[in-house]
Every structure is written in structure tokens, then in C-alpha cells.
Amino acid sequence: MMEEKLYFKNQLEGQSNDEIILFMYGELVKMLSHVRVYFAENELGKRVLTINKAVEVISTLLSILNFEAGQVAFQLKSLYVYSIRNLTKANFDKDAKLVEEVQQIFKNLYEAWKEKIARDSEAAAMPGRGKAAAGAVSQRVLTEESKGEWYG
């Protein structure tokens, strides 16, 4: 467990808020891929443990939302709560389809966040506009003081 926390800390060191969120989305997609394999192989212990880890990551994403950022934070909250509910239900009902559905949500979020980061980078590179343009293009949902709390 300590090695896992160290891995996450090293991965996130020096990353922007958006890069941390992108990383977390990617890790969730990987975890949920493993859960689907554990369902297929009837690996109850591994399935339960990995679903619990995924719920913990989603709960962390939920806890660091900055609702002052606007409507996007409220939409993400709904997706996170829905995902936690479905993963919990999948675990109790032994329903791999619910895991697949949540995995698809986070695949979509991963791709959307990756595009957002690219747009922000392009806006920041525009002459005379700099960081102000990047801030105008996207709303931040991760508060600065919460960066890194989830792996500590």
C-alpha cells in the first residue's frame, strides 16, 4: 500500500490541477478494466478491493470539486455520485455491465479533459493573451489547496 501511495505521489509531483485530474481519470479507467477481468475470472476478493479503490478515487474527485467554478462542477458531481452508486450496486449485485458503464463515463471524461488541456495550452500560447486566456477558456474544478490530498 505504501508503494502505491509513493507511485501516485511521484506521478503527480509538479503536475497542474488539470493534469492530476487527467491522471486520476486514466487510473480509474485502468482499475475498472481490472474489475471487469475479475468479474470474468470470478475473483471476488480482487474485484471487491479494486472496486473499493475506484470508489475511493471517485470520492476524492468529488471532495475536491470547486463549486465556485460553475456549472461544470455540479455536472461532475452528478456523474461522480452516479458512478459511486453504480459501482456499489455492481459489487453487491455482481453486475459487470454497471462497471462497464462507469468505465465508459471515465473514458469519456478522460478524453474530454485531455482536449480541455490542449485547448488551454493553445489559448495560453496565443500572443498577448497568456494565462488569462487559458483561465477564460476553462473553469477550474480542483482547488489549489486540495492538490495532492488524495494520495497523502
pLDDT confidence tier of residue 125, bands split at 50, 70 and 90? confident
User: Is 2 part of any domain?
Assistant: no
Cell of 38: 475479475
What's the CATH number where 48 sits?
A: 1.20.120.340
Looking at the predicted structure, is the pLDDT value of residue 79 above 90? yes
User: Is 1 part of any domain?
Assistant: no
pTM: 0.76
% pLDDT > 70, the chain:
74
DSSP state of 127: T
Looking at the predicted structure, is the pLDDT value of residue 96 above 80? yes
Residue 41: Cβ-neighbour burial (10 angstroms; 0-12, 13-18, 19+): exposed
The range of the structural domain enclosing residue 134 comes to: 16-141
pLDDT tens digit string along 24-71? 999 999 999 999 999 999 999 999 999 999 999 999 999 999 999 899
Contacts of 65 (CB under 8 A, 6+ apart): 73, 76, 77, 80, 141, 142
Per-residue confidence (pLDDT) for residue 124, from 0 to 100? 82
User: Is 137 part of any domain?
Assistant: yes
pLDDT tens digit string along 138-152? 444 444 444 444 433
User: Is 119 part of any domain?
Assistant: yes
User: Is 83 part of any domain?
Assistant: yes
Question: Distance (Å, rounded) from C-alpha 24 to C-alpha 22?
Answer: 5
Per-residue confidence (pLDDT) for residue 95, from 0 to 100? 97
User: Is 148 part of any domain?
Assistant: no
- DSSP, residue by residue, 66-97: -GGG-HHHHHHHHHHHHHHHHHHHHHHHT-HH
User: Is 9 part of any domain?
Assistant: no
For the residues 111-123, what does the mean pLDDT come to? 91
Cell of 140: 477550474
Total tally of structural domains belonging to the chain = 1
pLDDT tens digit string along 82-91? 999 999 999 9
